[in-house]
Structure 1
Amino acid sequence: MTTTTSQRELFRFLEARFACAQACTECARACALRASCMDPDGSKEEQLIRREGILCAEVCDATCRVLSEQLQQDEAGIRAQVEWCRTVCLESARVFEEYAGAENAVKACRECAQECADFVATLR
């Protein structure tokens, strides 16, 4: 039974890792797209959205790279990266939801944050 349990746990871990990486990729795309729609010389609000979109895209991209590495990072490092991603995604969703036309980015950020939380739960 221990082998079956271990296999199930490994499968759950890998499935959660893949789902998190996939959500990070989608979030990075949505945030990069949102940032590209903003004028870098526009209003302070547009500049804030643009910076938030770029930050979120970069953090999600970095998280996806960490998750795709073949166990070259320790669990604490992976946990820290995924938690950081979750936090940035939640903050980005909060910023984006204030502006019309950002619904796709808000949704992608919230889904990514949830997948990050689900993945971290597999590490416990």
Structure 2
Amino acid sequence: MTQQTSQQELYRFLEDRFACAQACTECARACALRAGVLDPGGTALVEQVRRKGIMCAEVCDATCRALTEETGRDETGLRVQLEWCRAVCLESAQAFDTQPGAEKSADACRACAAACTEFMVALR
């Protein structure tokens, strides 16, 4: 019975890891697209939102790589990466909330932050 429980936990861990990586990929795509739509010569607020979108895309991409590659990263390092991704996604979602038409990007950021949080819980 213990073996079955640990096997179920392993499956759940892998499912959560995949869901988080997938959410990171979607968020990175949405942020990159959104950042490309914004006028780089626009107002300071628009430029700040654009930079946050680019940073979010990069952090999500790095997190996805950390989750899908066997890099030998320890649990503590993975937790730090997930927390960083979660925080950046939430900041980006707030920034996108200030821009008309950016609802999908903000939603992708929030979904990614939630997936990171859920996966960190699975690591316990």
Deviations 1:99-124 (A, max 9, x none): 11100101100000000000000111
CA distance in 1, matches of 2:71, 2:100: 41
CA distance in 2, matches of 1:38, 1:93: 15
In the TM superposition, what are the counterparts of 1:1-124 in structure 2 within 5 Å?
A: 1-70=1-70, 72-124=72-124
Shift, 1:49, TM fit: 1.1
CA distance in 2, matches of 1:120, 1:41: 38
CA distance in 1, matches of 2:78, 2:55: 19
TM-score by length of 2: 0.97
Structure 2 runs not aligned, ≥5 long? none
Shift, 1:41, TM fit: 1.6
Q: Helix, strand or coil for the counterpart of 1:23?
A: helix
Identity percentage of aligned residues:
62
CA distance in 2, matches of 1:119, 1:98: 28
RMSD of aligned residue pairs (Cα, Å): 0.8
Please identify runs of 4+ aligned residues in structure 1 that moved more than 2 A.
none
CA distance in 2, matches of 1:5, 1:68: 24
Equivalenced residue count is 124
Q: Helix, strand or coil for the counterpart of 1:39?
A: coil
CA distance in 2, matches of 1:43, 1:87: 25
Shift, 1:71, TM fit: 5.3
TM-score by length of 1: 0.97
Structure 1 runs not aligned, ≥5 long? none
Shift, 1:45, TM fit: 1.3
